[in-house]
Every structure is written in C-alpha cells, then in structure tokens.
Amino acid sequence: MLLILLRRPQQKCFTTTWQQNWDCSPGTCFQSLQAMLWHTVSPQLPLTIRGRHPSTRSVLDQALRAAVSMCDRAFGSGKAKELSMGGRCRGSWYERFLQPCLAELLGSALFIFIGCLSVIENGTDTGLLQPALAHGLALGLLIATLGNISGGHFNPAVSLAATLIGGLNLVMLLPYWISQLCGGLIGAALAKAVSPEERFWNASGAAFVTVQESGQVVGAVVAEFILTTLLALAVCMGALNQKTQGPLAPFSIGFAVTVDILAGGAVSGACMNPARAFGPAVVANHWDFHWIYWSGPLLASLLVGMLIRLFIGDGKTRLILKGR
C-alpha cells in the first residue's frame, strides 16, 4: 500500500502566458507549447513570408523560451527547473537539492526559535493565545517567504504527507528531515541563548511537558493525530492539490496551527511537528513521553496521504475512481 501511495502523479509544467497546465515529461512541455504556438500563428502569416523567411519559426521559438520561465515547479518538490536551449526541462544541482534543504534548515530554525521563545516568555495572563499566534503567524510568514524554494514544510510530518501524494521526491525526504531536525536544534539553542536562565528552566526550555503521567498518553496521542491531520490537510489540499490549491495557502496553514494550539494545547501541547519537539528536548534534555510527538503526527501524515491518494485528491493524484 505504501508503494502505491508513493507513485508520483504525472508531472505538470506551468506557463505564465497561458494560465493552463500541460501534462508533460521532461522535454515535452516546451515542444507541446511550441507546436501549439506555431499551429496558431503560422496560418495567419502570408505565404510569402513563410516561404521566404524560414527563420520565422525560430524567432517564435525564442519568444516562447523567454515567456516560459518555470517548468515543473511543484510545491515542495525540491526542484526548480528551467528550459535549456534544446527546450528540455533542467535544473542546477544546487537549486534542485541543496538550496531546498538550506531553506528548510533556515525556516525550521526561525520557526522553532520564535515558537520556543513565545513559550518561554509567555505570561500567565495570556494562556495559550500568545504561543498560538506566534506559531501560526510565524509559520505563515515563513511559508510565504521560502515556500517557492523548498515548499515551506519545516515539519517532518508535512514532508511525509507531501511525499505520499507526489509533492516531494522520495529521495529528498530524508535530507528534508535532517535539515528540519537540525533547524529545530538550532532554533531551540538560540532561544535558550537569548532567554533568562530562570525563565528558560521554568518553561522546561519550551519542551513539551503537558503529559505528566501514563494515563494521559492515549488522549495525547489521539489529540496529536487529529490536530496534525488538520494541519496536513491544510498543506496538501491548500498548496499541493491542483483542484483546491490557492494563493492563500500560507495563511490557511498558519491559521490551522493557531487553531490547533488553541484547541489542543491543554491536552497534548499541540506539537504537530516532530522537529518542534526534538530541538527543545535536546537543549533541555527532557525526553519524557517524547515519542508521542513523533507517532501522532507521522500516523496522521499516513492517513492524509491515503485520503488524498484514494478519495479527495485531484484526478492526477487520485489512484481510484478517476473517470474518463
């Protein structure tokens, strides 16, 4: 079942001239647009021009290359491609592999720094509101800023869900996880460095300490599972699924985090992000019930991947009931 879910949908290329998607494999996107443009324009040219100026088609080809600025850019795909002189989609090694990982590292570090600091400096009169707003607004801002480079995951659970529905190459999943966990460690360490020592330890270094006894474990796991399901759906349906994606995806994802924390913060801490749990756990050396914040979110990612692949995804992502 996992291998079936990992089967990537047919890749898409996007143009700015026509707000339309073209099914293509590498190298066919340009040729399809080229043929369409020539088929449309050529009949309008006088026969004498078409006969005496064989370079007319090459001029149109050059204009088309200039218009097509991006090919096969998928949210979180970890690869930005451009057209070569032969019309084939290609991308530099740096932009396809290294730059997305650096963006995930930077974004995770900033997100978790802000999140940890909001918990450490949280006053008793604000309750869950301060960390909820800080996490949600920071995530939306970072996705809007870095999303076009890496997809703006900053969360191993989100990366897993994106991989399952074809939004991230499988070979990039482990590098993304490493980048996110390292970013979480950096962010938590920076939060400790700028915080007064007393406040830092009073807040347990922003580690998740909501679960204090074994009787709370089941409720915490279920809460993390449900809360992460909402977050992963917001990411996959709002930013990756062709039928439902929109320009407000960064803000809807940020709102999902805010709502989750307000609703479930008192039950499990509303982590929804293994990297957010890992960084403070290392810095504060607090590992009690740490596994909850891995199992709940990752199981939720598997569920979201199955739902989108089998039932609610667009026609190119869905594996069943495709229709004709």
Q: Is the pLDDT of residue 103 over 70?
A: yes
Q: Which CATH number fits domain 97-312: 3.40.1110.10, 1.20.1630.10, 1.20.1080.10, 1.10.3720.10?
A: 1.20.1080.10
Buried residues in 61-97 as b, exposed as e (16+ CB within 10 A): beebbeebebbbbbbbbbbbbbbeeebbbebeeeebb
Per-residue pLDDT tens digits for 26-49? 444 445 545 554 455 455 444 433
Q: Please, are residues 85 and 26 in contact by the beta-carbon 8 Å criterion?
A: no
The answer to which of 34-43, 74-83, 103-112, 184-193 has the lowest mean pLDDT is 74-83
Per-residue pLDDT tens digits for 7-23? 555 443 333 332 333 34
Q: Which of 140, 129, 79, 74 is nearest to 107 (CA)?
A: 140
In DSSP terms, 184 is beta-bridged to none
What local confidence, expressed as pLDDT, does residue 61 receive?
Answer: 55
Average pLDDT, the chain: 82
What local confidence, expressed as pLDDT, does residue 322 receive?
Answer: 78
Q: Please, are residues 238 and 252 in contact by the beta-carbon 8 Å criterion?
A: yes
Q: Where are the domains of the chain?
A: 2-90, 97-312
Sequence-distant (6+) residues with CB within 8 A of 30 are 64, 65, 68, 71, 83, 87, 88, 89
Q: How far apart are CA 3 and CA 71, in angstroms?
A: 26
Higher pLDDT, 66 or 314: 314
Amino acid at 228: T
Sequence-distant (6+) residues with CB within 8 A of 134 are 114, 115, 117, 118
Which two structure tokens, joined as six digits, stand for 196? 């007064």
The pTM of the full predicted model, rounded to 2 decimals, is: 0.76
**Given the DSSP bridges, would you call strands 82-83 and 21-23 parallel, antiparallel or unpaired?**
unpaired
Per-residue pLDDT tens digits for 130-181? 999 999 999 999 999 999 999 999 999 999 999 999 999 999 999 999 999 9
* Maximum C-alpha span of the chain: 86
User: Above pLDDT 90, what percent of the chain?
Assistant: 67
Please provide residue 234's backbone torsions phi and psi, each rounded to the nearest 5 degrees.
-60, -40
Per-residue pLDDT tens digits for 183-227? 999 999 999 999 999 999 999 999 999 999 999 999 999 999 999
Q: Is the pLDDT of residue 102 over 60?
A: yes
